[in-house]
Amino acid sequence: MSQLSLNLVAISIFVVTMSALLGPLVQLSPVVPAIATASVLGLAALDTLSWQGRGSTLMLDWLAGFSAEHRARIIRHEAGHFLVARQLGVPVTDYTLSAWEALKKGHPGQGGVQFDTQVLDAELQQGTLSAQLLDRLCTIWMAGGAAEAIVYGNAEGGDDDRGKLRALLTQIRFSPADRQQKERLSVLRAKTLLETHWVTYEALVAAMERRDSVVECDRIIASGIPSPENPSV
């Protein structure tokens, strides 16, 4: 069961338990909390088994969507990924800014920037991963949280990004200490790249707010940052 589903179940059970305790005070039948508990558990199980957790993701995304600051954070987070990816020569194939947009386009999860991972997949299948490609990927994954930290002073998103980074580093046998160091260095690299091209970043944020196409976003980035032939970090 996904963490989102577990959190919803925990909250729902707490509410139902309080209803059972306080129900007699307002003449609420004990059958009501029992039915509610069974319904919540059933929906959570259905969400996990049939929808791969998308139901809870969509609901939380819908609730959070009422916050203008939350929407702004998402756009700035994803713009960080987008800009740094293009700076480092990794193609962006698509982007979505909510779980609903992701669902409509057939992408998993809560939305975000989609990258062309053919080179990564090929190297992993061969059991090799160049240091240069590893540095690029780690920097791109940390760029969303880095953008949030620059703008807001902290990063609320990025748990999935850190999970991807740590899973890959574990797969290629990095020690815990080396994983932490790689994560810190990747954040610093991402911040440097973003701050160096901040005017372009702000233009990209505005374009993504308008839901401009990937082609148009690429054009905006290219007009402010020459595309490197041999990118490195």
Both 72 and 60 in one domain: the answer is: no
Q: Note down the domain range covering 22.
A: 3-64
Identify the pLDDT of residue 38.
Answer: 58
* pLDDT tens digit at each of 233 positions of the chain: 444 444 555 555 565 566 655 556 555 565 555 565 555 555 555 444 444 444 455 455 555 555 788 889 999 999 999 999 999 999 999 999 887 777 777 766 677 899 988 887 888 778 778 889 999 999 999 999 999 999 999 998 888 899 999 999 998 889 999 999 999 999 999 999 999 999 999 999 999 999 999 999 999 999 987 655 444 44
115 and 43 belong to one structural domain:
no
Q: Are residues 94 and 126 in the same domain?
A: yes
Domain endpoint, select from 43, 64, 85: 64
Instruction: Take residue 132 and report the two structure tokens written for it.
Output: 């240069």
- Going by C-alpha positions, the residue among 163, 149, 162, 138 that lies closest to residue 88 is 138
Sequence-distant (≥ 6) Cβ neighbours of residue 175 within 8 angstroms? none
Instruction: Answer with the one of 46, 64, 82 that is the final residue of a domain.
Output: 64
d(CA 120, CA 90): 10
pLDDT at residue 174, rounded to an integer? 93
Q: Looking at the structure, do residues 13 and 99 belong to the same domain, yes or no? A: no
Q: Which residues pair with 156 in a beta bridge?
A: none
Can you give the pTM of this predicted structure? 0.71
Sign of the dihedral defined by the CA atoms of residues 126, 132, 109, 184, in that order: positive
Query: How many structural domains are present in the chain?
Result: 2
Pull the structure tokens for residue 35. Answer: 């039915």
Residue 75's CATH number: 1.20.58.760
